[in-house]
Amino acid sequence: MKKIIITLAAALLTISAVAQDYKSLYQKYSDDDRITAVYISPAMFKMIGKVPEVRIEDSDVDFGPMIKSMTGFYLLRTEDSSLAEKISKDVNKVVGGQKFETLMEVKDGGQKVNILSLGNEEFLKSLLLTIFNKDDGETVFIGIDGLMKRSDVEEAVAGASKNLF
């Protein structure tokens, strides 16, 4: 029983540590006029989670289970190249401080897109999406916290991919 409690406590501390990184990054930049900032709180996810099915356009995938398990959403976007460099360095600190797994990386000219996850074989605690475009200075950072079943995320990604290709 003690091992279960200690394991659960460690998992919760890891989630809160990652959330704190997102929160501090968000707080650092969200008041800047050159930034578009969006935060969705755990309370909002609880409200959204009561919706029985959440489908996006022509997708066959129900995003509801994944949304119900989310506890935080942080978005920062700018087209200011000097600010983009600062955000990029701070994002690298967040990623470097945890054991993120790269799910996808795309490099196309001056644009770089990364999707990273933090978790284990069964659950993801965190998802990160970063877009850095050197050509126009656009930078986007999205951090999602929760305890999402990896299978729900994989199903959502597979369903969304069908519409892209």
* Three-state secondary structure string covering 52-94: CCCCCCCCCCCCHHHHHCEEEEEEEEECCHHHHHHHHHHHHHH
Tokens representing 92? Answer: 């690298």
Euclidean distance between CA atoms 74 and 27, whole angstroms: 10
Give per-residue pLDDT as tens, 41-100.
Answer: 888 877 775 666 655 565 666 666 777 788 888 999 999 888 888 888 888 887 776 788
The confidence score (pLDDT) of residue 7 equals: 40
The confidence score (pLDDT) of residue 10 equals: 42
Domain range enclosing 47: 2-164
Q: Cα angle at 38 between 33 and 39, to 5 degrees? A: 130
CB 144 within 8 A of CB 70: yes
The confidence score (pLDDT) of residue 31 equals: 92
Euclidean distance between CA atoms 124 and 115, whole angstroms: 13
What's the domain count of the chain?
1
Average pLDDT over every residue of 108-133? 87
Euclidean distance between CA atoms 103 and 125, whole angstroms: 14
Average pLDDT over every residue of 99-122? 86
- The residue type found at 58 is D
Q: Cα angle at 54 between 124 and 65, to 5 degrees? A: 30
Q: How confident is the model at residue 109 (pLDDT cuts 50, 70, 90)?
A: confident
The confidence score (pLDDT) of residue 108 equals: 87
